[in-house]
Every structure is written in C-alpha cells, then in structure tokens.
Amino acid sequence: MSQTRDDNPLDLLREDLRDFAGYKSARSDKRSGRVWLNANEAAWPSVADCDGAVRRYPDPQPPALRDALARLYGCAPEQLLAGRGSDEGIDLLVRAFCRPGGDAIVIAPPTFGMYAVSARLHGARVVEVPLRDCAEGFVCDFDALAEAAEREAAKLVFVCSPGNPSGTLLPLASIDALAQRLSGRAIVVVDEAYIEFADGESAVSLLRRRRNVAVLRTLSKAHALAAARIGSTIADAGVVAALQRCQAPYPLPTPCVNLTLRALGEVPGNTTKARVATAMCERDTLFQALQGLPGVRRVYPSQANFLLLRFDDAQAALDALLDAGVVVRDFRHAPGLDDALRISLGTPEQNAAVIEVLGRALRASAAVATGAAA
C-alpha cells in the first residue's frame, strides 16, 4: 500500500507542539561515565533498597522492558511507548493531538470512562456516537463514527475492543476501514485492555499499513499486574517519539519494571495463558447460569473477563451480593444502562458464590411475586 504525504500522522499533532522537545532529563545524557554526578541523587542507597536498584533515576524507557513488551505485542520496540498504565497512553494521546478549547475526540458509549475524563481535563470536546444495543449485543456503528469524526474534525476516535462494559469485540476489518477513511484526518485509537480474553486478532497488525492507528495494551488485566501500572501505546514510531516528549521525565519506577521483567521473562506467558483459559471457561459457566435466572433481563455476550447484566431489580441483586460480601460494578448511572451491573470474573469458587447468591435472591423474589399474583 503506498503512503502519500497526506498519510503522515505527525501532521495531526498539535501545531504548537510540533517542535516541542520536552524535558531533557539527566538520563537523556548518553555520554559514558563512571561517576555520575549530574542528577543530584544520593551517593548511598536507602536502607530499604538492599541491592541499590532505586538510588538513581530510572531510564525513561528501559530497553529491556521495551523489547519484552514489543515481543509480547508483536511490534518493533520503537513503535511502543511504555507508561503508567494505558490510562497514561490515553492522556498522552489527548494532550499531543488535541488543542485545548478547540479539538474534539469521538467515543462510542457506553465505554471506558477515561477517554472523556482525559479530554475534559485537557479542555477537549467529547463527541458521542453511542453503540447500538442489538439482539447480538452492543454493536458499533462505524459509519456514524467516521461521519462524526469528519463533521467535528476530531483528532482522535477511541474504540474499545473488546468493549468495557459492552464486552463486544469489534471486527478488525471495520477498524481497518475506519482508519483508512480517516487517514490524514484522525488517529483511530484501539483500546485492547481485554484482547487476551477475546477470540480475535490484535489491531497491532494494522500498523503495517495504517499509520493513523494507535493501540493501547495493558498488563493490568490478563497479566495480573494492575498495581505495577505498566501499559503500552503502540503506534507509528514518529507518533511514539512525539508522545514520549509529552510524557513525564521518569514514568516507570524501577521496582515495577523489574517485577514486570520477571513476570514476562520466565516460562513465556505460561501462567497468563492458564489464567486466561480458566477465565474463558468460567465466563461460559457464569453466562449460562445467570442467563437462566428469573429477574435477569439480559446477559450480554462477552469477549472480556466480565459480564454485563440487566436486571428487573438491579438494586435487589446488588444488595444480595453486598450482603454476601461481593462487590460488583454498578452501571445504573450510565445512559441506557439504568438496570445494569458488571460482574468481573473471579476464581471458580468466587464465581460459584455469585451464582449461588444471585440464584437464591432472585428465585426468592420471583416466588414472592408469583405468590402475590396468585
């Protein structure tokens, strides 16, 4: 596929930031030295730091981490920016591409809340193109997304696949076509926080022909490292370099980097694969069990590690779970989801408890209802 000059995603960066160099940290000095006295660090390690790993400021993008993540996600190291969760990737994209007070992002609600939060904090407009609630689950209207992006001259279009909380995996061909249509006009950001649980290919493969695609990946869900805060933005190498200039000087704490390298380094991906396989089995079990319960209006099909449900009486379901010490996510505040709860998959024991508690509570209230009607 030929690239024209118009395809260059760097032309979409905020004009006022195009020659912005960012902060020159002490670690960006690449000279070789034996004695480093350029960053006002302590000369001796802390008592809490037995191996002295934490005394000095860290490399902003440790090459070993970048290599390991690039291998994991199937891209080149220079196409990947590691940061404090994919939340930071969202924020960097908004800051680098949207002029405050002017530019817009497009989102497809119900969706992950941080796109709108980052946009609002930055003073960017948020344009909503709701998912359609269909028999097969939530469906994304790609034409409407593209039209909204064109109409509003939006800089970023966020699609979440699989969606949170929709659970829907978006067709890669549709994402590809969207990126093609918006080439030279907007970046299509594909948030794949749950792709490990899905039966589908990552949008990372689109980067070979679509320079205006950015993919967000995270170690917080399938990889069980939420507190390490390691997320990746995978994009055109020029975009990655531009995002890094907007990033904090030392975004990756060394203890988190070392923990991540241990997690990714051993038997490659083995325990993650096992956790994901168990979650996918559990998802089927929970789906079947909850779908059959009285008072459950709908269980949405899910390609992620949670289920979204609608109830006749969501408050009663929430109360029953809370009485049993089980906390789930209340979505009743979200437009169109005023009867909905989202339940994350737990261990098989925890999922069995959810089925048991909800089964008991919902059958009891169904019995009361039929008793009252009789």
Ligand X SMILES: *Cc1c(COP(=O)(O)O)cnc(C)c1O
Task: Summarize as ranges the residues that interact with ligand X (CB under 6 A).
Answer: 85-87, 112, 160, 164, 191, 193, 218, 220, 226, 231
Write down the least CB distance from residue 308 to ligand X, Å: 12
The minimum distance between CB 84 and ligand X, in angstroms, equals 7
C-beta of 183 vs 233, nearer to ligand X: 233
Give CA–CA dist 173/203, Å, rounded.
Answer: 9
Tokens standing for residue 225 = 């490292």
Could you write out the DSSP letters of every residue in 52-101?
Answer: --SSSPPPSS-HHHHHHHHHHHTS-GGGEEEEEHHHHHHHHHHHHHPPTT
For the bound state, the minimum distance from the C-beta of residue 164 to ligand X, rounded and expressed in Å, comes to 4
Task: For residue 215, give the nearest of 238, 242, 244, 195 by alpha carbon.
Answer: 195
Cis peptide upstream of residue 294 (ω within 30 degrees of 0): no
CB of 168 to ligand X, least distance (A): 12
Q: Is 224 left (phi over 0), alpha (psi -120 to 50) or beta?
A: left
**Closer to ligand X by Cβ: residue 164 or 351:** 164
Q: Nearest approach, Cβ of 70 to ligand X (angstroms)?
A: 17
- Kindly tell me which of 167 and 231 has the beta carbon lying closer to ligand X: 231
Q: What residues form DSSP beta bridges with 127?
A: 106
Task: Using the minimum distance from each CB to ligand X, give the nearer residue, 160 or 362.
Answer: 160
Cβ proximity to ligand X: between 218 and 260 the closer is 218
Residue pointed to by tokens 């919902």: 362
Query: To the nearest whole angstrom, how small is the minimum distance from the Cβ of residue 240 to ligand X?
Result: 17
Residue nearest to ligand X (CB): 85
The label of the residue with tokens 């992006």 reads 149
- Residue 192: CB minimum distance to ligand X, A: 8
Q: Tokens 């993008």, residue?
A: 61
Cβ-based nearer residue to ligand X, 115 or 183: 115
C-alpha span between 117 and 123 (Å, rounded) = 10
Q: What gap in Å lies between CA 197 and CA 177, rounded to an integer?
A: 24
Which one, 129 or 289, has the nearer CB to ligand X?
129
**190 DSSP β-pair partners:** 159, 215
